[in-house]
Amino acid sequence: MKIYIGSDHAGFELKEILKKHFCAAKEFEDFGTFSNESVDYPDFAHKVAESVVTDPENIGILICGTGNGMAITANKHPNVRAALCWSPEISTLAKQHNNANILVLPARFIDTELAIKTVESFFNAEFEGGRHQNRINKIDLQ
C-alpha cells in the first residue's frame, strides 16, 4: 500500500517530518508542495484525491493550516472520504467507522508528536464494516 501525500505551504514542514518518520515502513508518493512558498491548497488536494480514486488500494494524507481547505476540496471527489483528525482516537475511528481513505491534518493546530501518533493510529486501524458499510453506502449523491 502506497501513501499519496500533499500539503500547502502551511503543511510543508509537517509533510517532510512525516515522510522521514515513516519512510522505512511506508512508500510515499509526494505531490508537493516542496517549499514554504505560498500556494493554493486545492491544487494539492485534487491531485491526492484523484490518485486515491484511481488506485483505491492506496490511501492519502493531506495537510494544510487548519485541515479544512484540504478536507473540503478532497471530499468533492466521489468515493473520497477525507477525515480531518487531530488525535489518535479520532484517526482510529475515522478508519474503523468511516473507512476514511484520506487523513487530513491541521498543521497549525497539532504538535509534531501528536501528528505522528495520529498518523500511526490511522495506519494501524481497520475498517469494521457491517453497519458502518451501510452508512458509507449512503454518502455519495449519485
DSSP state of 106: E
Catalytic residue list:
64, 97
Site size with ligand RB5, rule: CB under 6 A: 8
Does the protein bind ligand RB5 through residue 6 (CB under 6 A)?
Answer: no
Phi, psi (5° rounding) for residue 103?
-95, 130
Q: Do residues 37 and 54 touch, judged by C-beta distance below 8 A? A: no
Please state the closest distance from residue 67 (CB atom) to ligand RB5, in A: 7
**DSSP designation for 82:** E
Chain centre distance of CA 30: 12
In the complex with ligand RB5, the residue whose CB is nearer, 36 or 68, is: 68
Site string for ligand RB5, 105-134 (x = CB under 6 A): ------------------------------
Q: Which of 4, 6, 8, 47 binds ligand RB5 (CB under 6 A)?
A: 8
Question: Phi, psi (5° rounding) for residue 70?
Answer: -65, -45
42-101 residues in contact with ligand RB5 (CB under 6 A) are: 64-66, 68-69
Strand partners, 138: none
Cα(110)–Cα(112) distance, integer angstroms: 7
Q: Quote the least distance from Cβ 126 to ligand RB5, whole Å.
A: 29
**List of residues contacting ligand RB5 (CB under 6 A):** 8, 10, 41, 64-66, 68-69
